[in-house]
Structure 1
Amino acid sequence: MPVNRIFAVAAALLTAAWTVPAGADPSFVPVYEDNFPDPFITFHNGEFIAYSTNDGPNLPMLTSSDLVHWKRVAAADGRRIDAMPKMAPWAKPDRTWAPEVMKSGDKWLLYYTAASAKKSMQCIGVAVASDPKGPFVDNSAEPLVCQTDEGGSIDPNPFRDADGKLYLYYKSDGNAVGKHSFIWGQRLSDDGLKLVGDAVPLLTDDQKWEWKLVEAPSMVKSPTGYQMFYSAAYYGWDYPGERLSNYATGYASCSGPLGPCKDAPENPLLHSFNDRDAGCLSGPGHPAVFQAGKQHFLAFHAWAATSGCRPLDPERYLYIAPLFWKDGKPTLGPSLRERKAQERG
């Protein structure tokens, strides 16, 4: 199916299911109220497919026809299907984080973070499948990226530029070893399986709101140029104090796919809040930009909370919000949610 036809189908699916909330409704509500951290979403054959950090399977998945109603990808007996049932020789199971997929030719590539069997750190690998639901296979003896001098590497984000060139962005996990964290960019080979040239540092944890940690890059070619969305600060929620998480999402403007990049002065774009009218949001992070039709969306996770905005369960829910640009700057609309019965008419 041609790309423009795919986008048209996706756009038609969306309009029937979600609406802009009334003034008294919360600004952000989850579309999936179960643990689904570090989300990534793609569209294939009439459905959206979402992937997350492991929660049982190495690579759990959800599917949706409208971005609002989601269901687990499961076998007939209800058992969740693992899109990557066997780890690479270099990797251990149970610490498979932040997966993102990209189609390359007739193959699907999975970029993922996993615990190294030889090193006490996380590293990045790439696996291949003929279908976006797997099974993805990585037979590599060594990871694709592992910055051992920087505490390891996590959060891979593949990006295809308008000229077809491929890039990979990732975080050096310096905060795990008492160093600064960086977000890096590097060219990928045309097949997406190898790195080309030197890695370029694009961002570091030099802003007050970042609390000495940056991670989870998501590069996009926006109507106004290249912009990298990313998260900052400690991802957790301070349960003993029942305070809102410092984890937040910002962006940087970049002159090209390998920078240089500059933090937006209005950061963070998305942060925790507890407001009588706007509702509650705690720890919104790990942004993933994707597109359906001409509309961009931002998928992210936030902590499960009570109506009083206190910790509910140690789970991170899936949120999706429309992403716009105004005067060259990104802005988020209220998150997607199901239409009310009276609105369906």
Structure 2
Amino acid sequence: MRRALACLSAALVAGSLVLTPVAATAATTPAALVIADDFPDPDVIKVGGTYYAYSTNNGHGNVPVATATSLTGPWTRRPDALPTLGAWANGGLTWAPDVSARADGRYLLYYTARSRAVGRQCLGAAVATSPLGPFTPVGTGPLVCNGAEGGDIDASSFVDGDGRRYLLYKDDGNAIGQPTSLWLQGVAADGVTLQGGRVELLRNDRPEEAGIIEAPVLTRVGARYVLFYSLGGYGGDGYQTSYATATSLTGPYTKAYRSLLTTASTDGAVRGPGGADVVREAGGDHIVFHGWINNYGARGMYVAALGWAGEYPVVRGSRVRYEAERGVLNRCAARSTPTASQGQVVAYLDYADSWVDVTVFAPRAGGYSAHIAYAAGYGDAQHTLTVNGGSPQVVTYPNSGWETWRQVRADVTLNAGFNTIRLTHRDRWAEIDFVEIA
């Protein structure tokens, strides 16, 4: 690539390659907007053949609920699942409900509301014989309410493989200018009797979090615990969904290097994705979350396919970055440069047999968009792209200048699971920084 004269003969050989035209492939499937109305912080369970979704309060009640026979809808609004709050709570600020089935056949609802006594958001519980409710508040006071830490919000339930039940929640420290943490609390089978002390799982410590991590949801994949959470201010595009993992329930948890869902990672298809829930099913997992709609006037409910690259989550329609220099290199080499992602690129892709293989993951089989970050300094360059050794297509890199990293898009068809994308030298010279798959 930098050795233009030395590589001229190789470029001519590559330029003589004849490619068989291939049918155009479809771009990725973005997250589906399934409730195009205000439905923030969605929580979804499935009972029999029916899905039940619950949201933060709005004009449809304290705990709005909707039902469908498919995650993608159509969804039908139902009456308020919690028409009467606990006596300890004021109305109007009933947030982030969580509904789960108990072993006794009843359904448990966690909700957040404003404590009359403390003047902060606190956690309450209610039970019902049907997932539609109406749910009846449990006890005379909140389940968790610590005014000294700003209150407590965003409860969710988790049952481990041994049958033990846990409550997760966030202290609302950001409401009083303190750090925020996510907590794990053991509970009895009824979900409301606290057992033992709580354990801090995560605390905000990154600039993009803007002092806020919240909406914890925990699941287990193989031997790994995966803790989903939201971060940043909920009011705009800065809100996003990330995750942390651990091999023990109580941690330590390691945060993902990049968030799982952001406005940018979805290419603007969802604005401020957050308040996520995970739906685990034999036919394929999904992630359900909210995003701004109607010019930021409401937060609608979205659904996207969720897969597991090993034991790590991948969402269809949200970009995942794969560093090219970590792939398999043939007659080329990694080059260090401070201008590139992770400080390295694949360089010297100068010969007819110069190629890089990048292993990528697809949650479902079908069309995806590959975004290839490159720099080309001696005119427009080309590579040949194949997936799993299949039919080739030509990728063209418009001249950008060396160290000026741009992206081109190539639509590809991937198998469910891991796939190999190969980029082979074809014409002139380009360096590859990374490949992002959405």
TM-score normalized with structure 1 length: 0.81
Structure 2 CA distance, aligned partners of 1:194 and 1:299?
Answer: 29
* CA distance in 2 between partners of 1:25 and 1:324 (Å): 14
Three-state SS of the structure 1 residue aligned to 2:35 is coil
Tell me if structure 2 keeps the 8 A contact 1:89–1:139: no
Question: Does structure 1 retain, via aligned residues, the 8 Å contact 2:277–2:288?
Answer: yes
1:247 matched to 2:239: yes
Give the match for residue 264 of structure 2. Answer: 273
2:300 counterpart residue number: 317
Matches for 1:6-17 after TM superposition, within 5 Å: none
Consecutive unaligned residues in structure 1, runs of 5 or more: 1-21, 75-80, 238-244, 306-311, 336-345
Match of 1:327 in 2: 310
3-state DSSP of counterpart to 2:34: coil
Determine whether 1:107 maps to 2:99: no
Question: Relative CO higher for 1 or 2, CA cutoff 8 Å, sep ≥ 6?
Answer: 1
The one-letter code sitting in structure 1 at the alignment partner of 2:70 is D
> Could you tell me how far apart the structure 1 residues matched to 2:46 and 2:239 are?
28
1:28 and 1:320 mapped to 2: Cα distance? 5
Alpha-carbon offset, residue 26 of structure 1: 6.3
For 1:315 and 1:71, the matched residues in 2 are separated by 17
Q: Quick check: 2:180–2:204 contact (8 Å CA) kept in 1?
A: yes
**Deviation (angstroms), 1:23:** 3.6
In the alignment, structure 1 residue 284 sits paired with structure 2 residue 273: yes
Partners in 1 of 2:223 and 2:30 — Cα distance? 26
The 5 A counterparts of 1:66-85 are 66-74=70-78, 81-85=79-83
Looking at structure 2, the residues matched to 116 and 164 of structure 1 have their Cα atoms a distance apart, in angstroms, of 32
Identity over aligned pairs, percent: 38
Residue 28 of structure 1 deviates from its aligned partner by 2.7
Q: Which runs of 5+ in 2 are unaligned?
A: 1-24, 319-438
Mapping of residues 228-247 of structure 1, within 5 Å: 228-237=227-236, 245-247=237-239
Aligned twin of 1:7: none
> In 2, distance between residues paired with 1:333 and 1:24?
11
Deviations 1:238-297 (A, max 9, x none): xxxxxxx111111001232222212122x211111288xx45321000111112224221
Match of 1:47 in 2: 50
CA distance in 2, matches of 1:261, 1:313: 33
User: Tell me, what secondary structure is at the counterpart of 2:141?
Assistant: coil
| Cα contact 1:274–1:281 (8 A) shared by 2 | no
Q: Which residue of 2 aligns with 1:309?
A: none
* Equivalence for 1:153: 152
Partner residue, 1:343: none
What is the CA RMSD across the aligned residues, in angstroms?
1.9
Aligned to 1:10: none
2:161 maps to 1:165:
no
> Which residue is equivalent to 1:260?
252
SS of 1:149's equivalent in the other structure is helix
Q: Residues 280 and 71 of structure 1: is their aligned pair in 2 closer, same or farther, counting only changes over 3 Å? A: closer
Quick check: which has more Rg, 1 or 2? 2
Kindly indicate whether residue 174 of structure 2 is the aligned counterpart of residue 181 of structure 1.
Answer: no
**CA, structure 1 residues 274+217, in 2 after alignment: closer, same or farther (shift >3 Å)?**
closer
SS at the partner of 1:209?
helix
Aligned counterpart, 2:117: 118
Aligned to 1:206: 205
In structure 1, C-alpha distance between the alignment counterparts of 2:151 and 2:120, rounded to whole Å: 5
Against the structure 1 CA distance between its residues 294 and 187, is the aligned structure 2 distance closer, same or farther, given a 3 Å change threshold? farther
SS in 2 for 1:85: coil
Question: Could you tell me how far 1:25 is from its partner in structure 2?
Answer: 6.6
The answer as to whether partners of 2:54 and 2:98 remain within 8 angstroms in 1 is: yes
Q: 2:72 corresponds to which letter in structure 1?
A: V
Partners of 1:213 and 1:232 within 8 A in 2: yes
Change (3 A) 1:273 1:151: same
- The one-letter code sitting in structure 2 at the alignment partner of 1:52 is S
Structure 1 residues 271 and 149: CA distance shift in structure 2, 3 A: same
Tell me if 1:89 matches 2:87: yes
Structure 1 Cα separation of the partners of residues 255 and 28 of structure 2:
31
1:208, 1:127 → 2: CA distance? Answer: 37
User: What's the secondary structure of 1:154's corresponding residue?
Assistant: strand
What secondary structure is seen at the aligned counterpart in 1 of 2:190?
coil
Q: Number of paired residues?
A: 293
Is 1:299 the equivalent of 2:298?
no
Q: Distance in 1 between matches of 2:283 and 2:221?
A: 11
By percentage of residues, which structure has more strand? 2
List per-residue Cα deviations over 1:26-73 (Å, max 9, x = no partner).
623311110000000001131101000011201111111111123333
Aligned partner (choices 32, 37, 60) of residue 64 of structure 2 = 60
* SS of the residue 2:148 aligns to: helix
Secondary structure at the counterpart of residue 269 of structure 1: coil
- The structure-2 alpha-carbon separation of the partners of 1:82 and 1:261, relative to structure 1 and needing over 3 Å to count, comes to same
